[in-house]
Structure 1
């Protein structure tokens, strides 16, 4: 399908953008893109799951300012008028949010409200990073934005799932009742450079285990599926959605689906070496399948070429080896 030309931040007048979670995987790539496009960025992070090394990449940039703060307790920004508040702060991988369940719930609840209040005070847009986890272990496949999900509200993953579901609800409430110019994205499995080695999600696990010469950890029988989106494709979707007036949730992901055993074969082809794997019990409430329906995304922000999985993994490994 050919690319569709839709406005993005690349062609926008200079913007002043505050990003919570700026030291995280996705947040740091957003900082990089916006600075490269000539925008001013204020990063906010408390490093509960972000990395200082990601902040260090931009610390000397003349249009970057960093505030170390827990946005659940407030966002201590007192500078010039903002154009956007982008809420990307939250542990996002199962090991991290299960280690910090209360903090995860708080950043989804109070952190989101604090971001909305700041956006409202500045007359700024508010951009919420939600997740495909709002669909839970889906009974509808692929998952459209109209699907309400199959979520265990008290399970081990509920601190993340329900935090994001609440974040979406309060974001829509501020849009409807207070006129805040909001955007909501539901991010499907995303990978690329700058992911923490202990991230715990499957591509990170497989890549690091393979590079260490260890057996790859496969949960269940390896037939469960995921759809993998390269970080640059996610950032492009975010950039385009900022320039389009659309307030309902939008799935951002790749709709090509792989089993875990197929993912091992792709990694084997990239590394050109034999790989071995061990089977382990499937974690509680782990979704059996996950693939986005992208009809709404294509209607709202158009089509663009996605990076193939093998090329993205090559980039990720190249970054680790540098």
Structure 2
């Protein structure tokens, strides 16, 4: 039986990964310290015989007595602006010391190592859409740097292990993902708008609302991650993972108001520092290497996410 180790297992993406790998017959070991993850995201798994959970901060050493770990998935990290600005030092530690610790585990067991990077490594891009070869336009000392620069460091050290030790390292640059198990107070645009709309509060749009994002539904993302872990000949590859359909933020707000039949009004506030104006993945590479492509439309995914939030706020 194959065994996978997943850091950030109680997080939004991490918990869905636990579900997926259990469905695929893996023995799953999940790690999380609950700094931003929620025990509720994995409580349905705790009685599963093939699931083991360890509450642990991966910036601290940990030893495993397993004979083998086939896959190491490093997904632990505060991922929303609300969280990484609340926990700036913890964010930098998990993307430096934590990354090093997870790489050492992968090296010890000669595991495939999958690192969850982010579209934030591109910063406020001057190239559109963003390809994996684009080096980014990132402010190294701005408030968001605790997240985007630490993710860039994690990419650098992951590639160093690939070059120095031949470790099968694969880096996924994840673009805006949404769906069930996001927190209502997450701070990202989809849960923000849905929560405000369902509560009949004003919907807060930053800037003029013309900035764009590309939204990938969680089931599509998980399918893409699984394909990346399963495919051959991806050693050392860096891949964008997201839905290339692009929407401006104001249109997203209007879609959510319509779908929730909300009486909310749209109000505008100042754009946060270093907030990117455009964000859209070029996914030719991953489509070619894994045959993956997103299947869930924004309107379908928003319906599913609204249904979830109706029962969780």
**Normalising to structure 2: TM-score of the pair?**
0.96
Unaligned stretches of 5+ residues in structure 1 = 1-13
RMSD between superposed Cα atoms in Å: 1.1
For residues 3-23 of structure 1, the C-alpha deviation after alignment (integer angstroms, 9 at most, x for no partner) is: xxxxxxxxxxx4200000000
SS at match of 1:184: strand
Does residue 230 (structure 1) correspond to residue 217 (structure 2)? The answer is yes
C-alpha separation in 2, matches of 1:250 and 1:126: 14
C-alpha separation in 2, matches of 1:305 and 1:159: 30
TM alignment of 1:281-320, pairs within 5 A: 281-320=270-309
- For residue 109 of structure 1, the aligned residue among 80, 96, 103 is 96
C-alpha separation in 1, matches of 2:143 and 2:253: 27
Alpha carbons of 1:194 and 1:105: their partners in 2 closer, same or farther (altered >3 Å)? same
For 2:123, the equivalent position in structure 1 comes to: 136
Instruction: Kindly indicate whether the alpha-carbon contact (under 8 Å) linking 1:75 and 1:115 is maintained by their aligned counterparts in 2.
Output: no
C-alpha separation in 2, matches of 1:119 and 1:304: 28
Does residue 252 (structure 1) correspond to residue 252 (structure 2)? The answer is no
- For residue 49 of structure 1, the aligned residue among 33, 36, 39 is 36
For 2:156, the equivalent position in structure 1 comes to: 169
For residues 190-225 of structure 1, the C-alpha deviation after alignment (integer angstroms, 9 at most, x for no partner) is: 000000111100001000000111010100011110
Report how far residue 123 of structure 1 moved: 1.2
TM alignment of 1:144-293, pairs within 5 A: 144-244=131-231, 245-246=233-234, 247-293=236-282
For residues 23-75 of structure 1, the C-alpha deviation after alignment (integer angstroms, 9 at most, x for no partner) is: 00000000011111211100000011100111212111110001111101123
For 1:3, the equivalent position in structure 2 comes to: none
Alpha carbons of 1:319 and 1:80: their partners in 2 closer, same or farther (altered >3 Å)? farther
SS at match of 1:66: strand
Instruction: Kindly indicate whether the alpha-carbon contact (under 8 Å) linking 1:109 and 1:163 is maintained by their aligned counterparts in 2.
Output: yes
Report how far residue 277 of structure 1 moved: 1.0
C-alpha separation in 2, matches of 1:82 and 1:107: 21
How many residues align structurally? 309
C-alpha separation in 1, matches of 2:262 and 2:36: 32
Instruction: Kindly indicate whether the alpha-carbon contact (under 8 Å) linking 2:197 and 2:262 is maintained by their aligned counterparts in 1.
Output: no
SS at match of 2:95: helix
Report how far residue 305 of structure 1 moved: 4.4
Instruction: Kindly indicate whether the alpha-carbon contact (under 8 Å) linking 2:28 and 2:51 is maintained by their aligned counterparts in 1.
Output: yes
TM alignment of 1:12-91, pairs within 5 A: 14-91=1-78
Instruction: Kindly indicate whether the alpha-carbon contact (under 8 Å) linking 1:128 and 1:185 is maintained by their aligned counterparts in 2.
Output: yes
Higher relative contact order (CA 8 A, sep 6+): 1
For 1:7, the equivalent position in structure 2 comes to: none
Runs of 4+ in 1 over 6 A off after TM superposition: none
Unaligned stretches of 5+ residues in structure 2 = none
